[in-house]
């Protein structure tokens, strides 16, 4: 006997300004159908693990796929991004959607402030990713990343309202550089992206994740999708790799880093999302 599990996509444009920083979103069953066999089985609760992050204890890779927006395809108008987060077997682990200001989204593109709400397969918000508007995060060839008020800072919360870490941009000439900190402001990872001259090639773009001492630890990879898709869409596909044994909070922070990299490096104003 087969069963279906139903989910709903929440359009937060209907409630912008009504979602508090400490208020978790609960999605009710409704209009987002998905076959139960494509969803990752939910493990039993684990002591000391934030509710909803138990799934991350069972994976060493998360794929983040930006979803198609029909309104954006038809009109070309920049809408809020939506994503599916899947494990290496293709099972959906989480669903994510963007909350952002319309004017910033249309006029400022990748510099816009945003909140990414990540919900599990029961519709409960388990991770929240926030970045404030930055007018020049990628200007000055990336050199202004260390200047207060210029470099991007992405905060990751789980459960929503409880900070577990953040991703801070660092100044680097013609490249992306970030440090990842835990809730105690201690540096736990660093990320150095490829030089800008290597960002245009027809290949995967890898952002290695290293320990503070420089030892390889994981990676965030923008996967190449083919010439046509890359040229005419911004429906990006990312792969976040880390050791299976890594603490689930650190895994969630690395997922947040992937979203920040997507917005800073690959989100362009006026692009139409396609799939």
Tell me the domain boundaries of the chain: 4-10+21-41+50-266
Distance between CA atoms of 247 and 46, rounded to whole angstroms? 12
Residue located via tokens 């397969």 = 121
pLDDT tens per residue, range 128-166: 999 998 776 555 555 555 566 678 899 999 999 999 999
Distance between CA atoms of 145 and 273, rounded to whole angstroms? 28
Asked if 42 and 122 count as a contact pair (C-beta separation under 8 A), the reply is yes
Judge if pTM exceeds 0.85: no
Instruction: From 132, 129, 161, 151, select the one nearest 254 (Cα to Cα).
Output: 129
Q: Is 146 helix (H, G, I), strand (E, B) or coil?
A: helix
Give the domain 4-10+21-41+50-266 fold.
Answer: Tubby Protein; Chain A (3.20.90)
Which whole number is the average pLDDT over 113-121? 96
Residue 178 backbone zone (phi > 0: left; psi -120 to 50: alpha; other: beta) = beta
pLDDT tens per residue, range 181-232: 999 999 999 999 887 755 666 778 999 999 999 999 999 999 876 665 555 5
- pLDDT band, very low/low/confident/very high, at 65 (cuts 50, 70, 90): very high
Q: What phi and psi values does residue 189 have, to the nearest 5 degrees? A: -145, 165
Instruction: From 135, 95, 142, 96, select the one nearest 113 (Cα to Cα).
Output: 135
Q: Name the CA dihedral angle for 256, 257, 261, 263, rounded to a multiple of 10 degrees.
A: 20
Query: Which carries the bigger pLDDT value, residue 250 or residue 233?
Result: 250
Show Cβ contacts of residue 120 under 8 Å, excluding neighbours closer than 6 positions.
Answer: 42, 52, 55, 93, 94, 126
Distance between CA atoms of 273 and 275, rounded to whole angstroms? 7
């Amino acid at each position: 006997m087969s069963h279906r599990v139903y989910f709903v996509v929440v359009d937060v444009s209907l409630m912008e300004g009504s979602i508090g920083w400490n208020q978790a979103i609960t999605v009710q069953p409704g209009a987002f159908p998905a076959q139960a066999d494509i969803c990752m089985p939910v493990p039993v609760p684990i002591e000391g693990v934030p509710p909803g992050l138990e799934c991350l204890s069972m994976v060493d890779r998360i794929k983040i796929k930006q979803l198609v927006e029909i309104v954006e395809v038809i009109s070309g108008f920049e809408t809020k991004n939506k994503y599916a987060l899947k494990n290496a077997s293709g099972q959906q682990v989480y669903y994510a959607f963007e909350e952002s200001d319309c004017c910033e989204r249309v006029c400022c593109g990748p510099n816009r402030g945003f909140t990414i709400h990540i919900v599990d397969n029961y519709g409960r918000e388990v991770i929240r990713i926030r970045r404030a508007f930055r007018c020049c995060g990628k200007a000055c060839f990336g050199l202004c990343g260390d200047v207060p008020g210029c470099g991007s800072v992405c905060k990751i919360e789980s459960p929503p309202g409880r900070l577990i870490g953040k991703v801070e941009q660092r100044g680097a000439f013609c490249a992306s550089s970030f440090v990842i900190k835990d809730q105690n402001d201690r540096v736990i990872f660093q990320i150095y992206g490829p030089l800008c001259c290597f960002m245009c090639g027809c290949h995967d773009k890898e952002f290695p994740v290293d320990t503070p001492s420089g030892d390889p630890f994981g990676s965030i990879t923008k996967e190449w999708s083919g010439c046509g898709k890359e040229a005419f869409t911004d429906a990006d596909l990312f792969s976040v790799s880390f050791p299976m044994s890594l603490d689930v909070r650190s895994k969630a922070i690395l997922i947040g880093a992937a979203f920040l990299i997507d917005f800073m490096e690959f989100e362009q104003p006026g692009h139409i999302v396609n799939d």
